[in-house]
Structure 1
Amino acid sequence: MDRRRFMRTGALGGVAAAGLAAPALAQTAPRIRWRCASAFPPVFDALHGGALDLARFLREATDGAFEIEIVPPGGLGPVSGLADAAIGGAVEMTHTASHYYIDKDPAYALGAALPFAMNARALEAWLLAGGGIDLLNGFFEGQGLRYLPGGNTGAQMGGWFRREINAVQDLKGLKIRAVGLAGEVMKRLGAVPQPLPVEAIAPALERGELDAAEWVGPYDDEKAGFAKLAPFYYYPGWWEGSLSLSFLVNKDAHDRLPPTYRSLLAMAARAVTIEMQGKYDFRNPAALARLVAGGAQLRPFPQDMLNAAFDAANKLYGEIAGRNPAFKTIHDSMMAFRAETYRYQQVPEYTFDTFMMIKQREGALGGA
């Protein structure tokens, strides 16, 4: 049964027959047409699908009164300009990763991913229950934007390398595609970060202009074809223990929405976050198995590299916080919860997961 149709023609039909008015939303819902610029090519259906899902949720919830057209990458110029497109009103919103815009202000990174921050579950807890969304909006509203979470990829992989990395010194001179504050950390470790858009990564690897590249994880990396160009697949992506995507909405356009629509928009954004995380959690295992079967060589990052990157990241955050009060306010809250959540996760989560992983290696969980 179509639940929405039943609500209109079934339950409400009886009300109308009794001479009572239909719900206020049905009577007064204004027709609104927005455009949302996506930073993600449609081939990456989990990423690009976040904007499509948001538009669908809102269209269905309002019986088509609130429509959002999704503008694919390139429709408004480079991805690096999409935040400005939303600020200036060329579109009402963009679906993106806010750390693409750290040149505007390093605090943009806090809406996306920080090296050695939190896993997806902890980050969403901080955003949704720990006041994170409100703190981020304290910054973004000053930029002319309204921030809403727009999905999460979960913990990412560390990327594809043309040669093995056995120690931190092997990063010296390494040309790697990296974005956000991860690029600055890589630079401090001696690498040469290149913030290339995804469509430029494979050609740069093929021409030897890159020695390594990170994108997302198995499901998306398989689509991008990186395994044919760089055989060593490293983990974990310490710069993105989770990546929270963003809907960055023009503040004036957001404020002009009727209160009901603002509420629906916020709820739809949260639904997108849940949907995207589920897609990646379901699709990544099979994709990784296919990549390994096709010849990808899994490698863990060396421990000395992880430690050096952790120290460099913390030093970087201290420097930024010392000159950027907005960054400090949000970062302090995030890091306080990071300490709490990892203390707690060691008790039930880590012990349960570790036991189940041991059973998986013993073959006791079944499956292929």
Structure 2
Amino acid sequence: MRLLLPAGTTETALIDGISAAGAAPELMEHTPSADVEILEYGEPTMAPVTPVSPSGCPTPAAVTRAVREVIDFDVSVVDAGLAQPTAAPTVDLGVEPGADIRDSEAVPDADAIFDRAHAYGTGLPDDRLVIGETVPGGTTTALGVLTALGEPGEVSSSLPSNPIERKRRVVDEALAASDLEAGDCEGQPIEVIRAVGDPVQATVAGIAAGALESGIDVTLAGGTQMVAVATILRHADVDAPLSIATTSFVEAEQGDRLGDICDRLNCDLTVTDPGFDEREHVPMKRYCTGEAKEGVAMGGALSLVPEGEMAAVRERFETVCARLGIEGEDRGADSGEDAKETSFDSNSDSDSNSDPTLDPEGDHAP
């Protein structure tokens, strides 16, 4: 079994009020690079940020890393449009960062990205593949894709209060810029990515399609962003069995909608509760109150934990947080001048309308 993590960026995350890192976009674009370093090494090494919210909620990369330290699994990172370099080893498919979806073309070479990713997916030697993602602004591009394909569904957020109306306004502007209306791209999945998607979607969809074609068991690890990828695959006439694995935090926000759309897409759904409510640990409490929820293959990694081992994952998560300089004290909503947290917009459900204090000199590896 291999966990595959495509990581990339889109200028959509720079739209005012869309990205939680809006105060310092030059730091935000390092977030996917930091996520993959945390997953690979346990902490950032080259990236100058540690993704954590002002209230003390770390990136889901910390959870996925905790699972990996408990049960171990192979990881491969795919450069799906990184704007900044990373020290983690990556598979280079020649993918560039995505443009603002309000431009006429968000991913001009979507077809070429899909084809290269498909070829990579068909050549993988694994029997089972868990595919995650990390891309700031990704829930907004997911909403754009679902809308242009004419599919119902709402997307999640890293905040307890989802700024969904703000995202809808951005998507409306994006469709207008591409001379599209809702549903115009039905049956045209590559065109929808080109118009209002992001390069990570093209990469994940291509890899998944190629792997499924080769008989590999594929699980899409994530929440509403992976619902968008599954929708792309179904509109591309990929009808092979497909699974989505996410967290109880996404299910708590989405309710029956998540299961309903998975049924419509003929996708098996696995929801895992990590039991964070059982510990007196601030980062865990932040997840329980609705921050972060998912990303960096968190739900997929948690679904791999054997029965009886989740307590060990919670203990290891506390260790990872301490390593990242997140000591677990309750800082509240305002981080103040001495804040150690940096940009937090790392994952599938990480779009928000917050404006955190960003400090590149936090207690992380140089």
The TM-score with structure 1 as length reference comes to: 0.30
**Structure with the larger helix share:** 1
Q: Which has the larger radius of gyration?
A: 1
* Higher relative contact order (Cα pairs below 8 Å, separated by 6+ residues): 2
The TM-score with structure 2 as length reference comes to: 0.31
